[in-house]
């Protein structure tokens, strides 16, 4: 008797399960609210304080009471930044944007400009929130890779099949795999035959039918009947475990992109700090009526003006706009850094099955020789109705209402096809080997056919053939053209499918170079070799588990998300959620538009800051003007970033 693994979650009443879902959603909403609560509190306190100042509503709102009010408004957004700056200094990194923000805002407090100190730090906090929201919304977790591993194995012990963890199964034990389940460990097939979907492992579009004694790989999906397998490897050494290990190693080789503002602050912050110090003390040697307080005031204005809030807001907002525009177009970037990375790509490498093809068998051509097509199809379908082979299913889908004829005495010739009787005629349906073994003369025109071919003979004569092929996606040709139009210099196809089919698809799509029959490690090696070439920036596009190592190792990994495997989706940097390869060129366009707007914002912020900094150093700008100029630039940058939401791509 088979033991079924019970999930305690399934035992709960439906209404209780719904409550759990609601509780989880509510908890998430509370967590999000708490994230924004400090900024909201500071904003309310700031606006209230400014209103009281402006209308002079409360005469007692002066001195230490006013200082205390704005200090309370400052602490929720300012204290985390000050602490971060302190830890940076302790770690030997003195000049960071945290230090500059702390000095500038505390300086504003020191000269009595409390609202400005709060406002500047509040802008900084909001900018950080935008940054985190953009990255966290899209970023995946490599730990999710473990979810694609088979989580149970039915192993034969003590006269019964019991459910255990695959890690506990030893070499030589017998396991059972039911229809639709993944094979949990590598082994040898004990059953008479088996049909497996290995597309996720090899990229092979055609299901793999094997006989007793052949090797079965972990991660393959059993398509037809309950089978038994004798394990030959422990789980840690199985095919799927090796692929997952390659994914993790490839991910470790990927360098982490550092935020631009952090790099910039290493140069910008020390310059501004030393200029402010110089502005405070150097005039003593050159000005006759030097007053320390006046020059300190100018230096603090200088620091407030130089606060990078416009940059801090405009940069993440620009990327956030790009991420939003991509999402509306069915494209998910896992982080702002990949919007930049995709703009540098000049070589696109793609898988075939599931990427530019649908990964579904369809009849491509019906070629009868001795019968009319309608009559020929009736004989063919009558025979295939007796088979459960995936190719037979593809043929039956061609004519959903079946055949008027009935096949009898049907027997399977192992590894070759079917033999039976239809309308009193002996009919053979199968491969070339079946025809030759029955002394049927096969036309030479079939020799050059690269697709899967099903041959038919009726009463000892070759009656015709049907070719079965994986269809190109509707927008495959458009995708390749648009990728070229976007400036990509080289397009390459690497596939686990047989080389003849790969070359045919590559030729049809006008792809520069192609190679088939590749194992996962072969694909990885090919991409690693490409990366070694000077000035080559590689993006890889795939959908199967076998593509995951390459997705992780490439400069930009792009996964087909609609029908693609979970492991490929979790490993990739960019997900095409609609499964349309034509979205690849759009992803490149969005990346370039985002980068353009971000640099426009940077140029705007720098240009205005340089002008106002000079005015501030000369005593021509007050604290209010400095804050207004900085906030104004931030608003302009925000409006510029919002344009990404309105853009349309062809």
Give the residue numbers annotated as catalytic, written as ranges.
Answer: 351
For residue 153, give the 3-state DSSP assignment. Answer: strand
Q: Longest Cα pair distance anywhere in the chain, in angstroms? A: 120
Q: Which residue has 């609601």 as its token pair?
A: 22
Give the length of the chain.
650
Tokens representing 484 are 């070229």
Q: Round to whole Å and give the CA distance between 466 and 336.
A: 49
Sheet hosting strand 227-231, strand order edge to edge: 160-164, 153-157, 174-177, 227-231, 187-189, 215-216
DSSP state string for 16-46: HHHHHHHHHHHHHHHHHHHHHHHHHHHHHHH
DSSP state string for 94-151: ---HHHHHHHHHHHHHHTT-HHHHHHHHHHHHHHHHHHHHHHHHH---GGGGGGGS--
**Using CB atoms within 10 A of its CB, is residue 277 exposed (0-12), middle (13-18) or buried (19+)?**
exposed
Q: Round to whole Å and give the CA distance between 505 and 477.
A: 11
């Amino acid at each position: 008797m088979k033991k079924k693994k019970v999930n305690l979650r399934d035992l709960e009443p439906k209404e209780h399960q719904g409550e759990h879902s609601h509780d989880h959603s509510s908890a998430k909403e509370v967590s999000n609210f708490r994230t924004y609560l400090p900024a909201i509190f500071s904003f309310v306190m700031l606006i209230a304080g400014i209103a009281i100042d402006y209308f002079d509503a409360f005469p007692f709102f002066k001195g230490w009471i006013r200082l205390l009010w704005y200090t309370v408004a400052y602490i929720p957004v300012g204290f985390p930044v000050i602490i971060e700056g302190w830890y940076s200094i302790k770690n030997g990194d003195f000049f960071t944007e945290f230090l500059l923000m702390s000095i500038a805002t505390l300086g504003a407090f020191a000269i009595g400009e409390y609202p400005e100190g709060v406002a500047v730090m509040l802008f900084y906090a909001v900018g950080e929130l935008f940054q985190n929201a953009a990255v966290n919304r899209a970023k995946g977790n490599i730990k999710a890779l473990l979810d694609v591993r088979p989580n149970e194995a039915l192993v034969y012990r003590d006269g019964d099949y019991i459910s255990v963890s695959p890690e506990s199964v030893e070499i030589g034990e017998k396991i059972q795999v039911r229809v639709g389940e993944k094979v949990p460990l590598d082994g040898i097939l004990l059953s008479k035959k088996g049909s497996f979907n290995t597309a996720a492992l090899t990229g092979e579009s055609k299901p793999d039918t094997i006989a007793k004694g052949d090797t079965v790989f972990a991660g393959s999906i059993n398509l037809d009947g309950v089978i038994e397998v004798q394990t030959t490897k422990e789980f840690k050494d199985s095919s799927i475990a090796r692929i997952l290990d390659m994914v993790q190693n490839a991910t470790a080789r990927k360098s982490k992109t550092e935020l631009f503002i952090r790099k910039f602050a290493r140069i910008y912050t020390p310059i501004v700090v030393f200029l402010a110090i110089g502005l405070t003390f150097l005039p003593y040697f050159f000005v006759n009526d030097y007053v320390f307080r006046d020059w300190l005031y100018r230096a603090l204005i200088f620091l407030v003006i130089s606060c990078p809030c416009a940059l801090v807001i405009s940069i993440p907002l620009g990327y956030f706009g790009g991420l939003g525009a991509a999402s509306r177009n069915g494209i998910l970037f896992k982080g702002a850094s990949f919007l930049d990375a995709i703009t540098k790509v000049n070589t696109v490498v793609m898988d075939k099955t599931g990427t530019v093809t649908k990964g579904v068998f369809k009849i491509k051509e019906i070629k009868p020789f001795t019968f009319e097509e309608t009559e020929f199809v009736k004989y063919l379908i009558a025979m295939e109705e007796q088979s459960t082979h995936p190719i037979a299913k593809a043929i039956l889908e061609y004519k959903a209402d079946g055949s008027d004829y009935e096949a009898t005495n049907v027997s399977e010739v192992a590894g070759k096809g079917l033999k039976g009787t239809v309308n009193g005629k002996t009919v053979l349906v199968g491969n070339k080997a079946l025809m030759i073994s029955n002394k049927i003369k096969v036309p030479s025109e079939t020799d050059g056919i690269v697709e899967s071919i099903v041959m038919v003979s009726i009463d000892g004569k070759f009656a015709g053939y049907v070719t079965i092929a994986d269809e190109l996606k509707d927008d495959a040709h458009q995708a390749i053209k648009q990728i070229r139009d976007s400036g990509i210099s080289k397009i390459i196809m690497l596939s686990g499918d047989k080389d003849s089919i790969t070359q045919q698809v590559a030729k049809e799509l006008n792809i520069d170079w192609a190679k088939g029959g590749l194992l996962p490690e072969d694909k990885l090696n090919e991409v690693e070799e490409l990366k070694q070439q000077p000035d080559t920036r590689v993006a890889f596009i795939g959908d199967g588990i076998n593509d995951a190592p390459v997705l992780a190792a490439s400069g930009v990994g792009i996964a087909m998300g609609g029908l693609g495997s979970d492991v490929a989706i979790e490993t990739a940097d960019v997900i095409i959620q609609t499964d349309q390869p034509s979205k690849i060129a759009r992803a490149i366009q969005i990346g370039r538009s985002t980068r353009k707007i971000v640099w426009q914002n940077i140029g705007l912020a720098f240009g205005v800051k340089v002008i106002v900094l000079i005015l501030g150093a000369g005593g021509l700008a007050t604290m209010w003007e400095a804050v207004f100029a900085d906030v104004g630039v931030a608003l302009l940058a925000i409006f510029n970033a919002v344009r990404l939401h309105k853009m349309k791509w062809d």
